[in-house]
Amino acid sequence: MAKNLKSLTAHPELLSGGHRACAGCTGSNILRQIMLTAGADTVVGGATGCMEVVTTIFPYTAWRTSFIHSAFENCAATVSGVETAFRSLKKHGELPVERDNINFIAFGGDGGTYDIGLQSLSGAMERGHNMLYVCYDNNAYMNTGIQRSSATPPGAYTSTAPAGSDSYGKTQNRKDLTKIMVAHNIPYVAQTTPYHWKDLAMKVEKALAVKGPAFLNILMPCTVGWHFDPAIGIDLAREAVENNYWPLFEVENGVYKINKKPKDRAPLEPWMKKQGRFKHLFKPGNEHVIERLQTWVDEEYEKLVKLEADQV
């Protein structure tokens, strides 16, 4: 495992510069960190979405490894099929020795994972394919116009859940996809962020080491959809952990472990004020929405703490 930043950055860069990601995009940072850990013997599948569009505009590619572009909804099925073909070739002795161990990683945004790709993801996990699925969760369908997804938090402004005189943005709570993946009884499930690089590298390595399916949910602050200064995206990822909006935890064979427990939980408001998607909530009359979001975050974190404590 890469134990320090120096050793991690000594690995070959498998995502080149020159891609079309937005200035301040934390998604390309996520891809780089994952591929630095995974290495060149990796087949990557990318669902239609931000990270596919900005890295594979024909006839160019930013990937220095095998890459398969799938439809929005079927990346998990595509990569599970490639993994099955690999196992068949290996079984019949049709692979050279040096290609005997390959990582299979599928990438999808929250729109293509939480929503229209959920059936494909669930099927791949249930079948037990030896693959890692990574969701880069930026809390909306950013690539197609910032529409709300089931990952969008309550109160956030999106193009399909706008804020105005009759609405304060999205009204529903976020779907807890990470726990849905835990319910599939797969070997490894975890949450992390691009700020916590050592935690991310450790979790990628664990996910690729297990025999069977693994799932990582990674928070991806989006400068376009969240409306923040492009310079602070990584800091917003850090703050999301400190205020418990995005806890760092892992579930190995059903056993929960919280990887970072903030000693003094930060309130949500300072974090929210840096994002234009919540700007309307700080007008008189919307105080109850902020209170609701804070209560929801606190309750969800307490549930997580209880899940870990009940195992001892």
How many domains, in total, are found in the chain? 1
pLDDT by position in tens, the chain (length 312): 445 777 887 889 999 999 999 999 999 999 999 999 999 999 999 999 999 999 999 899 999 999 999 999 999 999 999 999 999 999 998 987 667 789 999 999 999 999 999 999 999 999 999 999 999 999 999 999 999 999 999 999 999 999 998 999 999 999 999 999 999 999 999 999 999 999 999 999 999 999 999 999 999 999 999 999 999 999 999 999 999 999 999 999 999 999 999 999 999 999 999 999 999 999 999 999 999 999 999 999 999 999 999 986
257 is in which domain, residue-wise? 5-309
Q: What is the pLDDT, as a whole number, of residue 95?
A: 86
Cβ atoms of 228 and 221 closer than 8 Å: yes
Q: What is the pLDDT, as a whole number, of residue 101?
A: 85
Give the other-Cβ count within 10 Å of 150's Cβ.
18
CATH number of the domain enclosing 171: 3.40.50.970
Residue 84: both structure tokens together = 């099955």
pTM attached to this predicted model: 0.96
